[in-house]
């Protein structure tokens, strides 16, 4: 055994850090690489695996000293470097603000059968100039409520539309990870929010040297889930609109039926326009495999 061990070389590389989707915990992604060396030290066989470590913080509450806890987590986990302490603090603050899973859990198969009011969605436009020097502020907003997340996503999108900014955005792992998390957790809550973040990743997907971020966060698979959900909603909206149209025709003299149909038609057209924007943003690089 000892004879074999001296020919085994192992490397561990730390990766991204994110919150657990349902538990009060952090997930540390890392990669292990094991190489068996020959008599002369040359690699003979190699194996690489993607792994993750779950760090549970069940006792996290409003009285917790978050900076101190972040420091302890880093001190006790060799996979996390000291430079990640600010990110750990951000994630812990997010876990504090996130409601218990039991009260926020949504059945993935559920689709609203009632046309939503377009007023429920905020505009993706924003009358504010984004700056790369303010990325930390935008990151903070991604841990707030939907309105703040929408503002942050619009500002980051403004920057992402300029290819000269993509490298700096790409290097900000904390920000990109937060955007992926918000898309994964909140895409049902706001079509505009999902559209903004989809466009940000679309900007990355336009250049092959940024494709790794699409693969790492499995944006392709999430994209398919969102599209399937939106197509189901479209079918339900169309069916409801047709029912109201039939009701209007059957009651030709009914002003109430006519107003109900025209109101639904207006909502339908607005929602379909939002879906079209979302689908354009989902056109992730054609040759990127879905994971």
pLDDT in tens, 194-224: 889 988 998 888 888 888 888 888 888 888 8
pTM: 0.54
> Final residue of a domain: which of 73, 97, 121?
97
Q: What are the distances in angstroms from CA 173 to CA 107, 120, 158, 179, 210?
A: 30, 31, 18, 10, 12
Same domain membership, residue 260 and residue 194? no
Rounded to whole angstroms, the Cα distance separating 230 from 28 reads 32
- On the CB side of 173, CA atoms within 13 Å amount to 14
Same domain membership, residue 253 and residue 183? no
Same domain membership, residue 246 and residue 206? no
Which of the residue ranges 108-112, 209-213, 226-230 would you say has the lowest mean pLDDT? Answer: 108-112
Which of the residue ranges 104-118, 188-202, 216-230, 263-277 would you say has the lowest mean pLDDT? Answer: 104-118
Q: Please count the other Cβ atoms lying within 10 Å of the Cβ belonging to residue 112.
A: 11
DSSP string across 144-195: S-HHHHHHHHHHHHHHHTSGGGHHHHHH-HHHHHHHHHHHHHHTTT-HHHHH
Same domain membership, residue 85 and residue 35? yes
Same domain membership, residue 234 and residue 217? no
- Asked if residue 124 belongs to a domain, the reply is no
Average pLDDT score over the chain: 77
Binned at pLDDT 50, 70 and 90, residue 78 comes out as confident
Q: What is the mean pLDDT of residues 83-91?
A: 89
Between residues 89 and 278, the one the model is more confident about: 89
- Residue 63's domain spans which residues? 8-97
Whether the Cβ atoms of residue 217 and residue 177 lie closer than 8 Å to each other: yes
Same domain membership, residue 256 and residue 212? no
Whether the Cβ atoms of residue 26 and residue 47 lie closer than 8 Å to each other: no
Which of the residue ranges 42-56, 88-102, 122-136, 273-287 would you say has the lowest mean pLDDT? Answer: 273-287
- Asked if residue 113 belongs to a domain, the reply is no
DSSP string across 105-134: ---TT----SPPPGGGS--S--SS---GGG
Same domain membership, residue 217 and residue 201? yes
> Final residue of a domain: which of 203, 224, 245?
224
Same domain membership, residue 139 and residue 203? yes
Same domain membership, residue 85 and residue 13? yes
Which of the residue ranges 76-85, 98-107, 220-229, 282-291 would you say has the lowest mean pLDDT? Answer: 282-291
Which of the residue ranges 1-5, 93-97, 154-158, 247-251 would you say has the lowest mean pLDDT? Answer: 1-5
Domain count, the chain: 3
Same domain membership, residue 234 and residue 196? no
Binned at pLDDT 50, 70 and 90, residue 169 comes out as very high
- Asked if residue 55 belongs to a domain, the reply is yes
- Asked if residue 189 belongs to a domain, the reply is yes
- Asked if residue 86 belongs to a domain, the reply is yes
Strand-strand pairing, 8-19 and 43-56: unpaired
- Asked if residue 122 belongs to a domain, the reply is no
Reduced to 3 states, what is the DSSP secondary structure of residue 13? strand
- Asked if residue 126 belongs to a domain, the reply is no
Angle at 155 between CA 151 and CA 157, to 5 degrees: 115
Same domain membership, residue 234 and residue 190? no
Reduced to 3 states, what is the DSSP secondary structure of residue 14? strand
* pLDDT tens profile 91-105: 898 888 876 543 444
Same domain membership, residue 142 and residue 168? yes
> Final residue of a domain: which of 175, 196, 224?
224
């Amino acid at each position: 055994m000892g004879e074999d061990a001296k020919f085994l070389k192992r490397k561990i590389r730390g990766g991204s850090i994110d919150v657990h989707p349902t538990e009060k915990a952090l997930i540390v992604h890392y990669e292990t690489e094991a190489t068996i060396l020959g008599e002369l030290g040359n690699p003979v066989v190699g194996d690489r695996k993607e792994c993750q470590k779950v760090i549970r913080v069940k006792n996290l509450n409003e009285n917790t000293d978050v900076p101190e806890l972040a420091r302890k987590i880093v001190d006790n986990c060799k996979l996390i470097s000291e430079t990640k302490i600010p990110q750990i603090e951000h994630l812990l603050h997010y876990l504090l603000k996130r409601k218990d899973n039991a009260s926020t859990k949504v059945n993935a198969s559920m689709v609203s059968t009632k046309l939503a009011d377009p007023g429920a969605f905020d505009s993706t436009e924003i009358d504010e100039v984004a700056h790369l020097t303010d990325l930390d502020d935008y990151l903070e907003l991604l841990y707030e409520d939907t309105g703040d997340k929408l503002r942050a996503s619009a500002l980051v999108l403004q920057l992402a539309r300029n290819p000269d900014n993509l490298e700096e955005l790409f290097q900000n792992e904390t920000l990109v990870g937060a955007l992926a998390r918000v898309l994964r957790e909140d895409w049902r809550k706001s079509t505009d929010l999902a559209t903004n973040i989809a466009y940000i990743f679309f900007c990355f997907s336009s250049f092959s040297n940024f494709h790794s971020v699409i693969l790492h966060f499995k944006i392709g698979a999430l994209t398919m889930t969102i599209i399937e959900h939106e197509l189901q909603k479209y079918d339900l909206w169309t069916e409801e609109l047709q029912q109201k149209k039939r009701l209007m025709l059957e009651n030709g003299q009914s002003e109430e039926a006519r107003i109900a149909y025209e109101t639904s038609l207006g909502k339908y057209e607005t929602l379909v326009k939002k879906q079209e924007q979302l689908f354009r943003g989902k056109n992730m690089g054609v040759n990127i495999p879905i994971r």
